C-alpha cells in the first residue's frame, strides 16, 4: 500500500490562535471558564478542554455564575449575543478567527450602505449564525445553501452583495456566484473562502489525482472536512472515507482490504490535530498499530 500525504495539513492560523488563547485561559483566566460552543469543530479537542475544567455551553442560560470567564469560539458570534455576554460581567476571551471577523465587518458595512447581502453558507453553522442573528426577519441578510435556493430568491433591492462562509467548497461557491449573476447581473460578488480551506481543496485535486481512495481525517461536524469529502467524490471522482476516530479506521480498513486499494491519499480538515493524522496513517500501513494519544497532545501547538 502506498500513502500519498496531501499537503498542507495541520491546524490553520485561526485554529492555532483559538487553541493558544484557550490554553492560556486554562492557566490564567478567572474560573469558572465557560465556552460558548466548541472552540473548533473537533470532538477530541473539545473533550480535552472539558477534562481541563472548561464548561462548554450551548446557551447563555446555562451560565450559573456572575464571576469567571467566557470563551468566544473561532467561529465568532453575533453582535446581539456579544452584548448579552458583556452584560453577564464575565471576562470575555475572544478567539474569533480574523478571516471571520473581516467578513462580519464587511457584511455589516454593506448593510449600512443599503445593500441586501446574499450569503452562501450553512444556516445552522456557528459562523453563519454570527451574522444572521443580527438581521432576523429584516430581509437584509439572505442565506442560500445551494443552487436550488437561488431559484426561490425574489429580491427587489437593486443593491446586492454576495459573500460566503469561509469553510465552503471553493468550487461550489464559484457555481453559486455564476448562478446569482445570471439572475442578478448587477450583483457585486466577493468570494471569501479562507486561504487554509481553499489551499487544502486545490492541493487535494492536484495531489490525489492518482489515488484509488481518498481518506479525509476530520470531525463529522467540520464543514471544511465535509467539503474535502464532497470534492473527492464529485470533482476528483474517487471513493472517499471520512475518518474521525479509531472505530472509523477499523471500518475503513475492512473496505480497503476488500477493495484492495493500492494508492491511498490522506488529507485532513483545518481543525484536525496532526497527531491524529499521523496515527491514522500508521494504522493504514499496519492494521495492528494501536492508536494511543495522550489527551493534551490534541491541543499541543508546535510553533
Cell of 148: 436550488
d(CA 136, CA 101): 19
- 187 contact partners, CB below 8 Å, separation of at least 6: 118, 160, 161, 162, 180, 181
Edge-to-edge order in the sheet of strand 160-164: 141-144, 116-120, 160-164, 188-189
Distance CA 50, CA 35 (A): 10
Choosing from 62, 67, 113, 127, which is the catalytic residue? 127
Alpha carbons 169 and 216: distance in angstroms, whole number: 15
Distance CA 167, CA 201 (A): 10
Question: 86-111 as b/e, with b when 16 or more CB fall inside 10 Å?
Answer: eebebeebbbbbebbeebbeebbebb
The answer to whether 127 is a known catalytic residue is: yes
List Cβ neighbours of 280 (8 Å cut-off, separation of 6 or more).
Answer: 215, 217, 243, 249, 266, 291
Beta-carbon neighbour count of residue 259 at 10 Å?
Answer: 11
**Greatest alpha-carbon span in the chain:** 62
The whole-angstrom separation of Cα 175 and Cα 27 is: 46
Active site residues: 127
Amino acid at each position: 500500500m502506498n500513502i500519498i500525504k496531501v499537503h498542507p495539513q495541520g491546524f490553520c492560523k485561526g485554529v492555532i490562535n483559538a487553541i493558544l488563547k484557550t490554553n492560556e485561559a486554562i492557566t490564567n483566566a478567572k474560573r469558572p471558564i465557560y465556552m460558548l460552543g466548541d472552540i473548533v469543530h473537533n470532538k477530541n479537542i473539545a473533550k480535552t478542554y472539558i477534562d481541563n475544567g472548561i464548561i462548554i455551553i450551548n446557551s447563555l442560560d446555562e451560565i450559573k455564575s456572575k464571576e469567571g470567564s467566557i470563551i468566544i469560539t473561532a467561529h465568532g458570534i453575533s453582535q446581539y449575543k456579544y452584548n448579552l455576554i458583556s452584560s453577564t460581567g464575565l471576562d470575555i476571551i475572544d478567539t474569533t478567527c480574523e478571516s471571520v471577523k473581516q467578513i462580519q465587518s464587511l457584511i455589516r458595512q454593506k448593510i449600512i450602505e443599503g445593500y441586501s447581502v446574499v450569503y452562501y453558507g450553512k444556516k445552522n453553522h456557528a459562523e453563519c449564525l454570527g451574522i444572521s442573528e443580527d438581521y432576523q426577519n429584516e430581509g437584509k441578510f439572505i442565506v442560500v445553501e445551494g443552487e436550488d435556493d437561488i431559484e426561490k430568491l425574489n429580491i427587489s433591492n437593486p443593491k446586492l452583495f454576495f459573500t460566503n462562509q469561509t469553510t465552503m467548497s471553493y468550487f461550489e461557491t464559484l457555481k453559486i456566484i455564476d448562478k446569482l449573476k445570471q439572475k442578478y447581473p448587477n450583483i457585486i460578488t466577493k468570494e471569501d473562502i479562507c486561504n487554509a480551506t481553499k489551499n487544502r481543496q486545490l492541493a487535494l485535486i492536484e495531489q490525489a489525482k492518482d489515488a484509488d481512495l481518498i481518506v479525509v481525517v476530520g470531525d463529522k461536524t467540520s464543514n471544511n472536512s465535509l467539503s474535502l469529502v464532497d470534492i473527492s467524490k464529485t470533482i476528483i471522482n474517487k471513493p472517499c472515507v471520512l475518518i474521525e476516530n479509531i472505530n472509523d479506521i477499523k471500518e475503513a480498513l475492512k473496505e480497503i482490504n476488500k477493495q484492495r486499494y493500492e494508492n491511498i491519499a490522506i488529507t485532513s480538515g483545518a481543525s484536525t490535530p496532526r497527531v491524529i493524522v499521523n496515527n491514522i496513517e500508521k494504522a493504514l500501513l499496519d492494521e495492528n498499530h494501536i492508536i494511543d494519544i495522550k489527551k493534551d497532545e490534541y491541543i499541543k501547538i508546535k510553533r
